[in-house]
Amino acid sequence: MKTIVAFGNPLLDTTVFVDDNLLLNKYNLKEDGQKEITKEEMQRICKDISSYNQHQSAGGCAQNSLRVLQWLLKKQCNAFIFGSVGKDNDAVTLKNLLEKDGVQTRYIEQNLPTGKTVAIVKGPYRSLAAYIGAAEQLSISDLLASPDFNTLVLQSDFVYRQPKYILDFCNENNKKIIYNISGDYVCDICPDGVKYFAENADIVFGNKREFEALAKLMSLSLNELTKNLVGNKKYKLEYGKIIVITDGSKMVTCIEKEKIENFDVLPIEKNDIRDTTGAGDAFTGGFIAGLCMNKSIKECAQVGCYAAYHIIKQIGCTLPDFVSDILI
């Protein structure tokens, strides 16, 4: 079996459905946008949604992608997640949800609350407000103190969403590195980090808006950016470095070496869309699952689209209750 090790923000997601923009306006949130908020803002928004029907699910980009990957591979993959959580019930809930879905947790406890995300869904749009909490405290010393950290990374086939130190360590040890931009706002709050990861990873995922933000950050056109990214790294993958750009319901663009391919997204009836939260994470998980099965780039994109198609029929990034047969 393949092994994938991920580093990410373990978050507990709460989804609510609304018919107006009152909550969005109050917290300066955009339709189909995402924003990090403070602990105090999260406390207020949780109080404001207390009267709404709520749905809880595991969250965080890396966790979502690994859970979807294990659904597609019928748990026939060794999947591990490193991250920081609080010493609270939310951490226990997250651990149980992840391990139920076939993802082995390597959580490190901190003296802060476990991170949370509130997803406000209005029609086909969703807006995310996240408080990172304990997840922000993950340090290199914490990772090095974890008993099987070095062993797992060195034995892995893919490493996903790593801190800079881990990225450098993986490059030195010839590990395949996967990076997801995970929000255009990240280019504002961590510009040097995003640029460094995008340049040094073997596979870079993001939606069109995120890549446009990265292009602006680097004072390049989108076309210039992708050419630069695929041309500046020694290839570890047989395909070469891969850039994957999603664009909602329009298409997926995959760029490798000098080759650019566009793939259609599976059409879906508007009434079948329940919540687009986690769609990008699901696509990423599907694409990586395809790589684990040695599929072509086209087939990986198709698996990613299949995963996103089924996740947006759920509330939050909740796995479907049927067994997928697209890969195994």
DSSP string, 58-80: EESHHHHHHHHHHHHTTT-SEEE
Does residue 322 register a pLDDT over 90?
yes
Sign, Cα dihedral of 215, 219, 224, 228: negative
Does residue 171 register a pLDDT over 90?
no
Q: What is the DSSP letter of 22?
A: H
Could you tell me the two tokens for 22?
């009152």
The band of 234, judged by pLDDT with boundaries at 50, 70 and 90, is low
Could you tell me the two tokens for 254?
């995959």
Residue 252 phi/psi, 5-degree rounding, is -120, 130
Q: pLDDT value at position 97?
A: 96
Question: What angle, rounded to 10 degrees, do the helices at 222-231 and 208-217 form?
Answer: 80
pLDDT tens string 135-162: 999 888 999 899 899 999 999 999 998 7
Residue whose C-alpha is closest to residue 16's, from 27, 4, 2: 27
Q: Is 268 in a helix, a strand, or coil?
A: coil
**Under a CB-based contact definition with an 8 Å cutoff, are residues 279 and 312 in contact?**
yes
Does residue 4 register a pLDDT over 70?
yes
The band of 164, judged by pLDDT with boundaries at 50, 70 and 90, is confident
Average pLDDT taken over every residue of the chain = 93
Neighbours of 14 (CB within 10 A): 21
- 162: Cα within 13 Å, side-chain hemisphere: 27
**Minimum mean pLDDT among 16-25, 187-196, 223-232, 295-304: which range?**
223-232
pLDDT tens string 11-61: 999 999 999 999 999 999 988 888 899 999 999 999 999 999 999 999 999
The band of 231, judged by pLDDT with boundaries at 50, 70 and 90, is confident
Q: Which secondary-structure segment (H or E) carries 300? A: helix 297-311
Q: Is 147 in a helix, a strand, or coil?
A: coil
Does residue 233 register a pLDDT over 70?
no
Does residue 197 register a pLDDT over 60?
yes
The band of 235, judged by pLDDT with boundaries at 50, 70 and 90, is low
Question: CA 264 from chain center: how many Å?
Answer: 21
Q: Supply the Cα-derived Rg of the chain in whole angstroms.
A: 18
Distance CA 299, CA 288 (A): 11
Strand ranges for 87-234 from DSSP E: 103-110, 115-122, 125-131, 158-160, 176-180, 203-207
Distance CA 80, CA 14 (A): 23
Q: Is 172 in a helix, a strand, or coil?
A: helix
The band of 232, judged by pLDDT with boundaries at 50, 70 and 90, is low
pTM of the model: 0.92
Average pLDDT over residues 215-236: 86
Does residue 281 register a pLDDT over 90?
yes
CATH classification of 3-10+60-112+134-311, choosing from 2.30.30.40, 3.40.1190.20, 1.10.260.30, 3.30.70.100? Answer: 3.40.1190.20
Helix and strand numbers (H, E) in the chain are 13, 14
Residue whose C-alpha is closest to residue 237's, from 295, 286, 307, 152: 295
**Under a CB-based contact definition with an 8 Å cutoff, are residues 149 and 143 in contact?**
yes
